[in-house]
Chains A and B, each alone.
Chain A
Amino acid sequence: MTTSETAIPLVPPELGPGPRRAGWAPGWLRRHNLQLWIGAVMIGLMVLAGAFAPLVAQHSPTTPDAMHTLLGPSGSHPFGTDNLGRDIFARVVYGARSDLTIAVVAVIAPFLIGLVFGIVSGYFGGWIDTIMMRLADIVTAFPFFILVIALVFVLGNGAWSIFVAITCVSWVAYARLVRGEAMVLRNKEFVAACQAGGISTWRILLRHFAPNVATQAIVYAMSDIVMNVGVIVTLSYFGLGIVPPTPDWGSMMADGQQFLAGGYYGMTLFPAGAVIWTSLALSFVGDGLAHALRIER
């Protein structure tokens, strides 16, 4: 008997007690944590393609070919060619390199900063906590993308300023998340036990707090990478991100836009597909992790 068949019809089957299903994927995906594996395979394929781009793509991503512009998908050009005759498949694959690298790198620093600030703030409380949270309030008062774009403008184009801008803004989310967790942990019995046992504060924080709160932050990091991909792609779409001719999904979509009305969808849809593929993969991984770690999201 399955749950849906046996539940009393008056109560929707999902509303029961017991661990609430995390996640947002279609039902068939959620059983047996299949989504973690599917997400991992999807993102793995994208990473491998980017890493071995020269082997995967037969053509150069940057060499124009005036004889073969705006071609549809074919055997030699699986995704077709763009308005300059460049191979879209190669550009998508090389784009994964630049976009994913920045997206992932721009998660590491905020993660670490947020982890440290959050633990310190949540564990010690007091004025450190007050200052921290006011600072967090101020940073979150700015719309995320608007502050990032303003910072990128001030710092100048390029990967480095995207990285700095994202770090300045997104550590706050980690700090808040970790702080909440740390405050809960602080009141747990084992902390009192450790303190009674004469274990030093730093040791408690390092050995007991960091691993416990980090799992939450790791799950959040998955959706944060998705957000970073969105930011990088949007910046590049506006010509403020990765500088051409380096292939990047955002600038590819910007180039393709003017050809949409003429019926040439490939230039826009393939890079968009890559973005959506990456996001789907990472949110599957995030939801799957949350489910595996029994974290409610």
Chain B
Amino acid sequence: MTSAGPLLEIDDLTLKLQVGGAELTALEHVSFSLGYGEARGLVGESGSGKSLTLRAILGLLPPNAVVTSGRMVFDGAEFDLAHGSKADARRLERLRGTGISMIFQEPSVALNPVIPVGEQIVDAVMRRDHLRRSQARDYAIHLMKLVGIHDAEHKVDAYEFELSGGLKQRVMIAAAVAGKPKLILCDEPTTALDVTVQRQILSLFTHLRDELDAGLLYVTHDLAVVAQLCDSITVLYSGNVMESSAELGSVFDDPGHPYTEALLRSTPDVDRIGRRLYSIPGSAPSLSDRPLGCPFAPRCEYRQDDCEQARVPDTSTVEGREVHCRHPVGHESGRVQLAKEAR
């Protein structure tokens, strides 16, 4: 294990989508990093580009998406993510499964309906270890038990549509960990599930983190999930990183970006039962009419005249923490007051 430097570093990832002849920028200069064994929450509303970021890392973008710039360092190896670097795309392909794997949002469409689920885990197992099929099958059963499928010996021959949503997601997790990857990308893996099942899957993730020693890049819109599972956080809004921190607690206690603060205020919390939940005024901008400066400016309570001008400079407040805001929360006493009151 190369412990010098992070496990994953994404630098200046910009991605454009071609929609009906127009070209829209879906990700803009997105950068963050992830240490070995670290779990980072990638948080944002729908349409903020979280899933696209994951897919860009694995090279699984839809055909109308084009990475125009972006550099990735994974486990010491450097990759050019930008479209056109075919050699790098091929190297990236080789990482799939064994270096980086991914858990998809909808287990019911991500599993092939006409192949038994066990076989789909076996496919992933065989990718890493050159086992005989029967051995791979045994290992698949072992993995299914590891992810909490009790009668794995039977379920291994089941089809996707014969399993419940929670079981399907467990199967997918088993397939994703089969290649012993160093990094697992999770694309809202609990969104499609019932609340009780969500809990179980989340605790499975916590359990697996200790077991596997893999890094986790966890996409979600749910800050409560991040609080439970992650060490660090990156907040995306409209394809831009708003705030990024290696230390989750600091962001939760003292958000730097007004958007982070607004997100926190609009998250339900047991302590505040009975109080009216905050909702961010307005709606997320569509990709086509994003303002020139800070994309959040039109909805920001603390907006000032210079906010909508040119691109916001990085404002590093503390080591390991980035806030992309000209007027971060907490820097002017009046604003801190306002924020404290709201909380």
1/0 per residue B1-41: CB within 8 Å of A? Answer: 00000000000000000111000000000000000000000
- Asked whether, in the complex, the Cβ of A11 is within 8 Å of the Cβ of B62, the reply is yes
Interface-side segment among A13-21, A131-139, A162-170: A13-21
Which residues of A are found within 8 Å of B65, using beta-carbon distances?
8
Chain A's interface: helix, strand, loop or mixed, by majority?
A: loop
- Asked whether, in the complex, the Cβ of A16 is within 8 Å of the Cβ of B62, the reply is yes
> Which residues of A1-52 have CB atoms within 8 Å of chain B's CB atoms?
1, 3, 6-18
Which residues of A are found within 8 Å of B138, using beta-carbon distances?
none
- Asked whether, in the complex, the Cβ of B64 is within 8 Å of the Cβ of A3, the reply is yes
* A interface bracket (residues with beta carbon within 8 Å of B): 10 to 19
Tell me the minimal C-beta distance from A152 to chain B in angstroms: 43
Neighbour of B61 across the interface among A3, A11, A18, CB < 8 A: A11
- Asked whether, in the complex, the Cβ of A6 is within 8 Å of the Cβ of B89, the reply is no
B76 at the interface (CB under 8 A from A): no
1/0 per residue B49-88: CB within 8 Å of A? Answer: 0000000000111111111000000000000000100100
- Asked whether, in the complex, the Cβ of B83 is within 8 Å of the Cβ of A6, the reply is yes
In the bound complex, how far is the Cα of B83 from the Cα of A130, in angstroms?
55
Which residues of A are found within 8 Å of B83, using beta-carbon distances?
6-8
> Which residues of B72-112 have CB atoms within 8 Å of chain A's CB atoms?
83, 86, 89, 93
Which residues of B are found within 8 Å of A11, using beta-carbon distances?
60-63
Neighbour of B89 across the interface among A1, A8, A12, CB < 8 A: A8
- Asked whether, in the complex, the Cβ of B64 is within 8 Å of the Cβ of A16, the reply is yes
In the bound complex, how far is the Cα of B64 from the Cα of A14, in angstroms?
9
In the bound complex, how far is the Cα of B62 from the Cα of A9, in angstroms?
11
Tell me the minimal C-beta distance from A190 to chain B in angstroms: 26
Which residues of A are found within 8 Å of B61, using beta-carbon distances?
8, 11
Which residues of B are found within 8 Å of A14, using beta-carbon distances?
63
Which residues of A are found within 8 Å of B63, using beta-carbon distances?
3, 7-8, 11-16
Would you mind naming 9 contact pairs between A and B with Cβ atoms under 8 Å apart?
A: A1-B66, A3-B63, A6-B83, A8-B61, A9-B89, A10-B60, A10-B93, A16-B64, A17-B62
Which of A's residues lie within 8 Å of B, judged by CB? Answer: 1, 3, 6-18
